[in-house]
Structure 1
Amino acid sequence: MSLTRLLETQTSRLEALSRLLSQEQELLLAGQVEGRVLEQVAGDKQALLESLEATEKSRLSVQRRLGYAADAEGSRQAAVDAGCLEAWQKLLELAQQTAQQNQRNGRLISVRSQHNRQMLDYLQSIVEARPYTAKGRPRGASGQLNASA
């Protein structure tokens, strides 16, 4: 596959990943998260990331086979010589934007997770503070069923 075609494929997959990240962000910002939908988005993201990795390996292989170094300068020079520098630059910009989207979503997940942990801790403290069990029996000091009951 040509370098130009590989760059086009990578760009297409990054665009798809960006759309998935936008969908994920909408789900995370919703008042009530749809777990199944979020799980599906996560699976789709993983599949896209794996295909992007495979395409990147192919691109680097072509680049090396053409005699270019496997670094940023080698990638830029290969793109210049193949007449696809604009596609390479577009790919780099899109990769940076997508990485930023992913970081934002990671922060949203972290905040939501922290909120859920706090809510669970609060609910647990309420349960432990109740002097009686659901059956009306007194609890001991530790919140356990009193042995004398």
Structure 2
Amino acid sequence: MNELGITFAKMMDILHELALSLTQEQDLLSEGQVNAALLHRVTENKNEQLATLQYLDHQRESLEKLSGVSRPPYDDNPALKQQWQTIMDMTEQLKQHNYRNGLLLAQHLVLNQQMLSLLEQHQTQRRLYGPDGQACTGQILGRKISV
């Protein structure tokens, strides 16, 4: 039973670390220009934390089977029930935080796509040099044919 409590404590520590990572991710996504390298590093940390959390959850399931403890929400053990409820509450908050970060990221993707479309449109409408290597002064509407 004590091992299960220790596992829950480790899970809560990882959830706290994950909350910090999500806050850092939100801060980066809220800036006008995203630091891609730093965002990548934060995302990698977040992925490692999620992998650790998954490992701890598997460990929790194994400990339940070995010790014969009831399954969540642990109604027969008030201490475990309280820890489990805290984990569930934290998980719900982190889910909402991650969802908001996803919205911010989606907005950045939309803005980047709009900028690319604008640049592509501008590039096709105005060419700086023609096929002969000479500067163009206007829009090229089609091929010029000299006779």
Q: TM-score, normalised by structure 1?
A: 0.83
Q: 1:75 maps to which residue?
A: 72
**TM-superposition CA deviations, 1:79-119 (whole Å, max 9, x none):** 74273221111111001101111111011101110110011
Alignment of 1:84-103 (within 5 A): 84-103=80-99
Cα deviation for residue 76 of structure 1 reads: 1.3
Alignment of 1:1-149 (within 5 A): 2-68=3-69, 74-77=71-74, 80-81=76-77, 83-133=79-129, 135=133, 136-137=135-136, 141=141, 146=143
Structure 2: stretches of 5+ with no match in the other structure:
none
Question: Identity of aligned pairs, percent?
Answer: 25
Q: For the Cα contact (< 8 Å) 2:127–2:139, is it kept in 1?
A: yes
CA separation in 1, counterparts of 2:129 and 2:26? 41
CA separation in 2, counterparts of 1:80 and 1:44? 36
What do you get for the CA RMSD once the two structures are aligned?
2.4
CA separation in 2, counterparts of 1:76 and 1:131? 67
- Specify the SS of the correspondent of 1:2: helix
Cα deviation for residue 47 of structure 1 reads: 0.7
Highest Rg: 1 or 2? 2
Structure 1: stretches of 5+ with no match in the other structure:
none
Cα deviation for residue 68 of structure 1 reads: 4.8
Cα deviation for residue 133 of structure 1 reads: 2.4
Q: For the Cα contact (< 8 Å) 2:73–2:81, is it kept in 1?
A: yes
